[in-house]
A and B are shown apart, each in its own frame.
Chain A
Amino acid sequence: MSDLEAEFARKAALDRVRRNWMDRFIDGIELLAAAFIAIVALDIFVSVLLRYFFNVSIPDSYDFGKLLLGILIFWGIAATSYRGTHITVDLVWAAAGPRSKRAIDVFATLVLLFVVSVQTAMLFDKVRLTRADNVLTFDLRLPTWPFALVAWLGDVSAVLLIAVRTWRLIFRPDSLQSDAIEAVE
């Protein structure tokens, strides 16, 4: 193997490691979001069953349900933003050539990055206020700010993932996984 070939092989191996590490991180975030939707469904399912069959209610089931819903959505937004499965109008994009398509994608992702970054900054303010106001759950009187904080961390990961997506769109477009259209209505 020549020096040049060895250098290419070393770079390719390094790329694979980097890609695998980043993809595992992204997969981890998605798994976390998926776990939250399962927990919300379980919370609702079990609380309804207990109410009708045993006349028992889970303390704070309602509060936990809505707080976990918030966590699920923000972590889900992180995954959705990275995969590019938001609801979009594709009329111009579909008619554009490959270079224009890439330019449109980069522009759209930069706008997305800007909006989510501002949202994340403002959400931190909301988390801080929730803690300062000592907002508690109804039954168990637990503070709700840790839930808000976990939800906010979802938005932080959304910013990170959108930044990764932007970087990959600009410098390594082939490394982005293409996802099938998902039904939203």
Chain B
Amino acid sequence: MEFSPDAVAIIGFVVLFLLMLLRVPVGMAMGLVGVSGFGCLVGGAPALKMLGQTSMRIVTDYTFGVIPMFLLMGAFVSRSGMSGELFRAANTFVGHRRGGLGIATIAACAGFAAISGSSVATAATFSTVAYPEMRRFAYPQSFATGVIAAGGTLGAMFPPSIVLAVYGLITQQDIGKLFMAGVLPGLLAVSMYMATIAVIGAARPGFLPTAPRASWAERLHGAREIWAPLALFVFVIGGLYGGLFTPTEAGGVGAGGAFLLSVARRRLSRADTLAALLQATRTAAAVFTVLIGAILFGYFLAVTQTPQRVTEFITGLGLGRYGVLAVLMLMYLALGCLMDAMAMIILTVPIIFPVVTALGFDPVWFGVIIVMTVELGLIHPPVGMNVFVIKTVVKDVSFATIFVGVLPFVATDIIRLVALILFPAIATWLPGRM
């Protein structure tokens, strides 16, 4: 019995979602469906040959080395305690203001995000660094956890964002430009989060307490402590922006620099080094598994012509460019309840990217938009990965409490998304200067 390509595509998607819901690793499910579907339409032998060749090609692609290198840099930074230094430094400057510890958390999250590139890592780290401090000064649980959940999303905006790097690898966009495109939207997010805290503090004066004012000596001491992460960021991202390094080299230099700085400052023991290497290896392997699966699934999509059909269908709806964009964003928000940001991007981008380019949107700008949307999915109810991570670390708080705290920041994120759609230059200006 022969199936038409359309029938095979539909069966493939159904099987893929079933496998994923049964907790088969996303990459393996995509690979299995991709190879089986391709084999069904083209032949078993070419499909199996494709499996071996594609796997080896992906893992030996130097460009893809950007992922393990930046993951390693982030792991060294996490293990060396730079997150605590960033938080303490920010705290000395703004902690005495109403909601100041929240503002300090956002500033420290931004600093940490700029060297770790991971939302979940940022949320997990600051759940242990900032939450106890905020509770010590009697900040409400909902506010404290909400700020950390929102601050965590900055990890995907600032370079080196691992999600943006993966988007660049899938869509063959310049990763350096994508990193730069995230800078201004990231800074906008920081400003808007801080403004949100200020508004909450002004609207409900008794709600947010203050910490004692730090002396100028304490502030100078705090500022001196953060020279290391600052120098690392400027060196790595400056080198990338200035064309001194390729993204993979920037990651390697960043990892080497983070290791040397941490060892020189006696912040990294042998056990920490080993733990960082293991953490980066496991995470890189998990990401590469999904990437291999996505590329194999991409061949299946190509023979079934799914992206072309989806493009024809969506552009034929008569919704207009921004109507289609709104539908796509709603789809991502809904998917945010099912899977994490990386899986969402890898699974859907090969299908919807042709739609986006057919509608004339800038691929780099769209990368920022899509990452912002999936990051919103990390914190919005009813399911948000950052919220789960915080709940794992902070045992004495309910999901409902965290979601209440997150809501003002969700509103802020929606306003920021609208601003970025109305003014694309926020994302495209900086990469345009490279």
Contact = CB atoms under 8 A, between A and B. Distances in A.
A75 B339 CA distance: 26
B283 interface: yes
Interface SS of chain A: helix, strand, loop or mixed? helix
Contacts of A30: 278, 281-282
A42 B260 CA distance: 11
A87 B342 contact: yes
Nearest to A78: B285
B59 interface: yes
Q: Kindly name the residue among B48, B281, B283 whose own CB sees the greatest number of chain A CB atoms within 10 A.
A: B281
B389 interface: yes
Given A87-B25, A112-B25, A115-B31, A80 B68 contact: no
Given A37-B277, A87-B289, A111-B19, A70 B253 contact: no
Interface stretch (B113-121, B131-139, B175-183, B305-313): B113-121
A70 B343 CA distance: 22
Interface of B: 19-29, 31-32, 35, 48-49, 51-53, 55-56, 59-62, 64-65, 68-69, 72, 118-121, 124, 156, 162-163, 166, 244-245, 248-249, 251-253, 255-257, 259, 274, 277-290, 337-343, 383, 388-389, 392
Nearest to B156: A185
B286 A41 contact: no
B288 A119 contact: no
Contact of A185 (B21, B279, B341, B388): B341
A87 B340 contact: yes
Contact of B282 (A48, A65, A80, A112): A80
Nearest to A107: B22
A76 B65 CA distance: 14
Nearest to B288: A73
Contacts of A17: none
16 contacts: A41-B256, A45-B255, A48-B245, A48-B253, A69-B65, A77-B285, A79-B285, A80-B286, A83-B282, A85-B286, A86-B27, A111-B19, A118-B51, A181-B389, A185-B163, A185-B341
Which of B253, B285, B340 gathers most chain A CB within 10 Å?
B285
A6 interface: no
Given A69-B61, A88-B23, 16 more contacts: A37-B68, A40-B65, A44-B248, A48-B253, A69-B65, A75-B281, A80-B289, A87-B26, A88-B24, A89-B20, A91-B383, A93-B23, A111-B22, A114-B32, A184-B340, A185-B341
Nearest to B61: A66
Given A52-B244, A151-B59, A45 B283 contact: no
Contact of B256 (A45, A86, A88): A45
A72 B65 CA distance: 10
A66 B66 CA distance: 11
A131 B24 CA distance: 34
A161 B52 CA distance: 20
Place the interface of chain A in its size category: 35 or more
**Among the interface residues A35, A65, A77, which one has the most CB atoms of the partner chain B within 10 A?**
A77
Interface string A81-107: 001011111111100000000001101
A182 interface: yes
A60 interface: no
A100 to B, nearest CB: 11
A108 interface: yes
Interface in A35-62: 35-38, 40-45, 48, 52, 62
A70 B60 contact: yes
Nearest to A116: B28
A34 interface: yes
B286 A182 contact: yes
